[in-house]
Amino acid sequence: MNELEQLRRAMRATERPYHDDLDLTVIMRDGRRLRRRRRLAGAGTAALVSVLLVGGIGLGVRWTRPSTPDQPPGSAVTGPAAPPSATPPPTRLITPPPTVGASGREFLGAVVGTGIRYGTDERVFYVVAVDLPEAPGVTIGLMAGRRTPAGELVDDIVINDVRGTDRRPGFHEIGYDDAAPSDPRPAVPTFGYFVGPATRIVGTAGGRQVEARLARWSTDPDLVVFWFDPVDLAPGVRLDGIVARDAEGRLL
């Protein structure tokens, strides 16, 4: 038997009865959630297309915004307000022009720049209006998108609560990128929002602690947008836990 055959045999001989380790109930529950999110994102895109076509703009799935420089003179610059020793890099909040109402999705407040680049595009987050008849307390979602050099915003993934209210204190839905391998868009960092006086958010994955980057929403400073740099946490990797702390280091 040569080495290659030995390797093949060894790879098969070390198989274990793994099927007992996987919880199919959890797998199917998470799969249904993922499917629902994809449909929501698809519905949002369709709504945007409708709005743009009614307006005679015809830009496909892109929502056109006036060109915005990377750091306009009037842009608000904010840091995560964490203690200096634990402060992630500052986050830029780019003040957009006045929001235009839309029957589908509506952008609310400032677009949060992350500094994460995909060629010339930048990963950004922005709050959008959502309408869930079964959850009247949920009116906003958080969109992960990309901003092109021309200032266009391209939607990727939206997350929103599906029950209760979107402003209850604490963590809300966390967005994991479960894109299909064939999806041409760049992977979305794990992201979400927290309502409360958080100045530091730390996730745990695979026994490691990962610091999130933070930015407060311009419309409601209690709403803290957070995301994990893909260098620190690969997109799609599930967090084992996540905590938020206030400026005094107290657990929220």
Partner 1 sequence: MARGDAEFVEFARSASGRLTHAAFLMTGNHHQAEDAAQTALVRTYASWSRIRDEDAYGYARTVLVNHLVDGWRRPIREYPTDDLPEQRRGDVADEVATRRWLLDILGTLSPRERAIVVLRHYFDLPEAQVARELGVSLGTVKSTGSRALQKLRATGTPQAQGTCR
Cα gap 249→243, rounded to integer Å:
11
Q: Which of 53, 151, 206, 222 binds partner 1 (CB under 8 A)?
A: 206
Please identify which residue in 4, 74, 101, 241 interacts with partner 1, judged by CB under 8 A: 4
Q: Which of 7, 46, 77, 86 binds partner 1 (CB under 8 A)?
A: 7
Q: Which stretch binds partner 1 (CB under 8 A): 4-12, 69-77, 115-123, 124-132?
A: 4-12
Give first-to-last CA distance, the chain, whole Å: 61
**Residue 209 lies near partner 1 (rule: CB under 8 A):** no
Query: From CA 204, how far away is CA 212, in angstroms rounded?
Result: 10
**235 binds partner 1 per the rule CB under 8 A:** yes
Stretch that binds partner 1, among 5-13, 60-68, 77-85, 134-142 (CB under 8 A): 5-13
Task: Specify the stretch interacting with partner 1 by CB under 8 A; choose among 12-20, 101-109, 166-174, 188-196.
Answer: 12-20
Question: Rule CB under 8 A: is residue 42 a binding residue for partner 1?
Answer: no
Q: How far apart are CA 120 and CA 154, in angstroms?
A: 13
Answer yes or no whether residue 27 interacts with partner 1 by CB under 8 A. yes
Compose the 161-200 pattern: x for residues touching partner 1 by CB under 8 A, - for all others.
-----------------x-xx-----x-------------
The answer to whether residue 241 forms part of the interface with partner 1 (CB under 8 A) is no
Least Å from the CB of residue 39 to partner 1 = 10
Residue 117 binding partner 1, by CB under 8 A = no
Decide whether 122 or 178 has the Cβ nearer to partner 1: 178
Q: Is 35 in the site for partner 1 (CB under 8 A)?
A: yes
CB of 29 to partner 1, least distance (A): 9
- Give the integer Cα–Cα distance in Å for 67 and 94: 12
Give the nearest distance from C-beta 188 to partner 1 in angstroms: 12
DSSP string covering the chain: --HHHHHHHHHHHT---GGGG--HHHHHHHHHHHHHHHHHHHHHHHHHHHHHHHTT---TT-B------SS-TT-EEE-----GGGPPPPEEEEPPSPPPP-SS--EEEEEEEEEEEETTEEEEEEEEE---TT-TT--EEEEEEEE-TTS-EEEEEEE--SSS-TTSSEEEEEE-----TT--SPPPPPEEEEESS-SEEEEEETTEEEEPEEEE-SS-TTEEEEE--TTTS-TTPPPSEEEEE-TT--B-
Residues that bind partner 1 (CB under 8 A): 1, 3-4, 6-8, 10-19, 21-24, 26-28, 30-32, 34-35, 38, 178, 180-181, 187, 206, 230-231, 234-238
